[in-house]
Structures are given as structure tokens and as C-alpha cells.
Amino acid sequence: MTSTEPPTDEHLVELAKTGDNGAFPELVKRYSRRILRVARNITNNDEDSEDVLQETFMKAYTHLDGFQGNSRFYTWLVRIAMNESLMKLRKRKTGRVVSLDEELSTGEDTITREIAVWEGNPEDRYSQEELRELLDTTIASLPEGFRTVFVLRDVEELSTEETADMLGLSIPAVKSRLLRARLQLREKLTRVFKQKGDDAFAFL
């Protein structure tokens, strides 16, 4: 590793385990925004998501010696954040949620057209910001069981296997829920754009 390369997660974890005071704060800096996004997408609550962020890193620091490197460090963090977020939802006990154990029946595992990555020129920045806000709002409206799988797979880009392991689901169940989440998201966004008389849904 040359001096110009940032330290890997594994290296920072090892330094933190040996008492390096600057290593863990670097990991917090590296992943705090992403963990906050996970928490906000799952809890749909800014205050709860801030609590989840703090609790996630506190637990990660406390149990750092228990991290054996069998998965990516970020995957381990997301697992903690997911547990904290779901505990917040259980405590809230409001609204109808879809059980993570509820079986879904579908004959397909994939969808050919997915949400595109939003990139563009600086001139398009404002409209892209609006689209991002709309997508976040629409994701938040998905049933919990679908939303959780969608956030882990399509937002955080975890693998199907990692998502299944994290949620205690079978791989076919993850694929089924992801398909249903994508279909619902596409339907909701298309309906919104049509109501606005906009052809922006062409990006779906």
C-alpha cells in the first residue's frame, strides 16, 4: 500500500483493535452518511435514524473485537443498523407492516428495466435533486418487508446472499420481495409523473 492510497477497512479495524485512537473515527467518517441513509430509509423518521446512527457505531466500537472479518466491515455495520432500525419500528408499533416471514408468490426473479442511476450535468442538478427526493419519498412508502430488501439490495448494493443472511430469509424470498418492491416503486413513480403531465418516467 503506497502513501497515496487510503487505508483499507480491514487495516483500520486492526489498528482500532490495537488501540489506535484515530482509526475508528476514520471508519465513522467513512460510513456515517451511508448508515444514516439506511436508518432513515427503514425507520422513515429523522430522530430515530439519528439514534440508530449513534447506537450503531457505539455497538460496533464496543464489539469490535468480535468482528472476525468473515464479511465486509460495512456489511457488519449495516447488520447492526438494520437490527437497531427494526427495533425502533417494533417499539413504534404503528401502521400496517409486512412481516419479513410473509411468503410472496411470483413466477419471476428479475425485472428487465430497473431504476437508473441518476447522473447528469451541473445544469440538470436541480431537477436531479427533485427526482432524488421523490425517489426517497416513494421508497419510504413501500411496505416494510419490501422496503428493507430494496434498500439493502438496490440502494446499498449488498449481494442477494448478504441480504438473505442479514434478514434471515431464503435467497428466493429475497428475490421475490425485491421484484415486488421494484414493481411497486415503478408503478408509484410512473403514476406520480403522469399526474404531473411529465414524461420523466421514461427513465424507469
pLDDT value, residue 23 = 93
Cell 438473505 sits on residue: 164
Last residue of a domain, one of 54, 70, 92: 92
Residue 79 CB partners (closer than 8 Å, separation 6+): 166
Task: Evaluate the CA torsion angle 88, 166, 75, 133 in order and state its sign.
Answer: negative
Give the model's pLDDT for residue 95.
46
Both 190 and 147 in one domain: the answer is yes
Same-domain status, 71 and 142: no
Helical axes 171-195 vs 125-140, angle rounded to 10°: 130
* pLDDT value at residue 35: 93
* Domain identity same for 147 and 76: no
Residue 190: domain span: 122-203
- CATH code for the domain of 141: 1.10.10.10
Query: What is the predicted pLDDT for the residue at 11?
Result: 94
Q: Do the domain assignments include residue 181? A: yes
Question: Does residue 136 lie in a domain region?
Answer: yes
- Residue 127: what pLDDT? 61
DSSP 84-142: HHHHHHHHH--S----TT-----S-S--SS-PPP----GGGHHHHHHHHHHHHHHHHTS
What single letter denotes the amino acid at residue 105? S
* Amino acid code (one letter) for 132: R
Specify whether 23 is located in the same domain as 65.
yes
Residues 130 and 88 in one domain: no
Answer yes or no: is 4 within a domain: no
Give a yes or no: residue 109 inside a domain: no
Same domain, 88 and 22: yes
> Does residue 102 sit within a domain?
no
Other beta carbons within 10 Å of 75: 17
Q: Count the domains in the chain.
A: 2
DSSP 200: G
> 52 in a domain, yes or no?
yes
Averaged pLDDT in 10-residue chunks for the chain of 204 residues: 76 93 93 92 89 94 89 90 87 52 38 36 52 79 89 88 88 91 85 61 44
Residue 110 inside a domain? The answer is no
Tell me what pLDDT residue 1 has: 45
Distance CA 199, CA 190 (A): 9
Under DSSP, the state recorded for 1 is: -
Asked whether residue 73 falls in the same domain as residue 130, the answer is no
**Residue 29 · residue 69 · CB < 8 Å:** no
Tell which of 74, 92, 110 closes a domain: 92
Residues 147 and 84 in one domain: no
Among 47, 71, 92, the domain boundary falls at: 92
Triad 32, 157, 161: Cα angle to 5°: 115
- 156 in a domain, yes or no? yes
